Amino acid sequence: MSTLEVRARTAIAAVQSARTLHDLNEAMAVFAQAASCTHYLLAPGPDNPSDDPAAWLSCGNYPPMIARLYRTTATSLGDPARRLALKRGTPVMWRKAWVGVRDAESRSFITQLRSHGLRDGITVAVHGPQGCLALLMLATSGTLPPGGEEDETISMVALAAHQRMRRLEAASLVAPPSAIMLTERERQCLQWVLEGKTNWEIGVLTGVAARTVQFHLANAQRKLGAGNRTQAGVQALIRGLIPPPGGQEPPPAAEPQAA
């Protein structure tokens, strides 16, 4: 097993355990160095199903001006290595893809890469049933040794990076539940509700008018998404916002509040 294969296995394990984009970037940076490269970019393929494919460009350390070229299919058409990678399942060495390039668009693209210190590299596409989903590009300011395009290790890392990026993207769509903040008076009223007290009785116990109790309970219902005062009390109990009935008596009001 080659040194690159060993490091690829380590990189795949790190990629698969990445919990954040920062973790994924760190794992990919280490692998890029193992492949004798200084830059990497995970770009969306033309058939990427993401709602925001351009967001994938945040996984990489390409120069911003070059990364922007891969935001859309139209602006990335000039990349000869990308065009070739879309048609094959193995990595593409840039120098081989650049040989014989004559059209002005491709030559301009190559010139831009070189002007930003990206003089050689490897591009590998991740294909799915609907087409190319993503591309992993490794680049260097030097010259890569020949034969790199035959190494399947880069393809395996690219696939792992694509799968993890999909999971991180999906996780970001699930917003964490917002913290529910009840006032002391709202918690107090809900505790008495679970004790079976009416609004009038709660008002007597807390020193406020019944309509003020209703005001606090209505606020608590809205915050908890409850349909009535009893549901609000149960929700508060389940969420640990108030103690169970009989466990702790609601404190009396410090002083009567005006209605």
Instruction: Pick the closest to residue 182 from 172, 173, 174, 193 (CA basis).
Output: 193
The confidence score (pLDDT) of residue 255 equals: 45
| Straight-line distance from the first to the last Cα atom of the chain, in angstroms, rounded to the nearest whole number | 80
What's the CATH code of the domain at 60? 3.30.450.80
* pLDDT-based confidence at residue 259 (cuts at 50, 70, 90): very low
Same-domain check for residues 188 and 138? no
Least confident range of 156-165, 207-216, 244-253:
244-253
Per cent of the chain over pLDDT 70 is 90
Instruction: Pick the closest to residue 124 from 149, 98, 100, 95 (CA basis).
Output: 149
Same-domain check for residues 228 and 154? no
Q: What are the backbone dihedrals phi and psi of residue 223, each rounded to the nearest 5 degrees, phi first? A: -65, -35
Q: Which amino acid is at 166?
A: R
Domain count of the fold of the chain = 2
CB 82 within 8 A of CB 105: no
Domain range for 195 is: 179-259
CB 91 within 8 A of CB 124: yes
* pLDDT-based confidence at residue 256 (cuts at 50, 70, 90): very low
Average pLDDT over residues 25-36: 92
Same-domain check for residues 160 and 209? no
Last residue of a domain, one of 145, 173, 201: 173
Least confident range of 196-210, 223-237, 239-253:
239-253
140-162 pLDDT tens trace:
999 988 765 557 889 999 999 99
Average pLDDT over residues 30-39: 92
Average pLDDT over residues 98-126: 94
Mean residue pLDDT across the chain: 88
What's the CATH code of the domain at 194? 1.10.10.10
Residue 94 has pLDDT above 90, yes or no: yes
d(CA 83, CA 81) in angstroms, rounded, equals 5
Token representation of residue 93: 């060495």
Between helix 3-16 and helix 152-173 the angle, nearest 10°, is: 10
